Amino acid sequence: MQSDVKILLVDDNPMVLAMLRDALTPLARVTTAGDGADALLKAVDDAPDLVVSDFRMTGMDGRQLVDKLKSRSTTSGIFVVLMATKADISEKLATQDHPADDFVEKPFYLKEAVQRIKRVIDKISLEKLAKTSSSDGVVRGNLSQMNVIDLVQSLEMGRKSCSLTLSRGNEKCEMYFKEGQVAHAVYGALKGDAAVFKVLSWTGGNFQINFEATTKQQTTTLNTQGLLMEGLRQLDESRRDGGGQSEEEEDVLLDS
């Protein structure tokens, strides 16, 4: 489902630009630019929520583009994902005070890059929802807007402390986060890890996020990523036991 997040995708390699655009379009509203100068003009004219840019480009590179965006009040709040080699990330970007929110390491498989960028898209979507929260400070939504896995990943990435309540018919699950980590979860008689695993497959229902809610209980044994990985493994195993077969999607290795 396409969100209302606006992405400005920047790369001077037309093939990479086109493939990323096609892969990200189902998730967000995508505009493209073939170089840093064009991207800067487009961002100033109509500020996106997220800039996904190659680091090494002729003329204005990705670092210079981000610096110029961050220096303007109208574009300083834009989220940034930079695509760069492992060496560039470790030697020129990650070790410096750089305002990028995340990196995609090159060369990359298209599917993996999209999944990484999607995490930032989901984080932005959650912040947009939070701005429209009701007077009681509780964010309410439908799981058709963001599914359970996306919600959990967004709260982890944002290092949020809050409660996440999921409901579907007579079913209800409550999770409590501490700085992005699921500390406590309850679903009926189930607590901790088992309660989280129970609801990861939900595609319908409603959610509420209360950023004022806290808990002293610690019932989970895995960190958030561990819970998601183990829960997805169990889901995949149950599908296989039920006779379903997971489809292998063709992936493409890209290096711009």
Same domain as 22, residue 92: yes
- Chain centroid offset of residue 33 CA: 22
Q: Are residues 159 and 236 in the same domain?
A: yes
Domain boundary among 73, 103, 128: 128
Residues 19 and 114 in one domain: yes
Is residue 25 included in any domain, yes or no? Answer: yes
Residue 256 lies in a domain: no
- Is 227 a residue whose pLDDT tops 60? yes
Q: Is the pLDDT of residue 113 over 70?
A: yes
- Separation CA 214–CA 211 (nearest Å): 8
Provide the residue range defining the domain that includes 28: 6-128
Confidence of residue 238 (pLDDT cuts 50, 70, 90): confident
What's the pLDDT tens digit per position in 123-179? 898 888 777 666 677 888 888 878 899 899 989 988 899 999 999 999 999 999 999
In angstroms, the CA 166 to CA 164 distance is 7
39/64 Cα distance (integer angstroms): 11
> Looking at the DSSP assignment, which residues form a beta bridge with residue 186?
174, 191
Nearest Cα to Cα of residue 84 among 55, 62, 41, 57 = 55
| pLDDT value for 216 | 94
- The reply to whether 208 falls in a domain is yes
pLDDT value of position 249: 52
Please give the pLDDT value at position 126.
85
- The pLDDT of residue 201 is above 80: yes
Higher pLDDT residue, 187 or 90? 187
pLDDT exceeds 90 at position 181: yes
Of 184, 187, 191, give the one whose Cα is nearest residue 215: 184
Distances (CA, A) of 8 to 69, 83, 84, 169: 12, 13, 17, 39
Q: Is the pLDDT of residue 219 over 60?
A: yes
In the chain, alpha helices (H) = 14-24, 36-45, 62-70, 86-88, 110-131, 148-157, 193-199, 224-241
**Coil/strand/helix, residue 191:** strand
Q: Which residues neighbour 250 within 8 Å (Cβ) at sequence distance 6 or greater?
A: none
Give the number of domains in the chain.
2
Per-residue pLDDT band for 237 (boundaries 50, 70, 90) equals confident
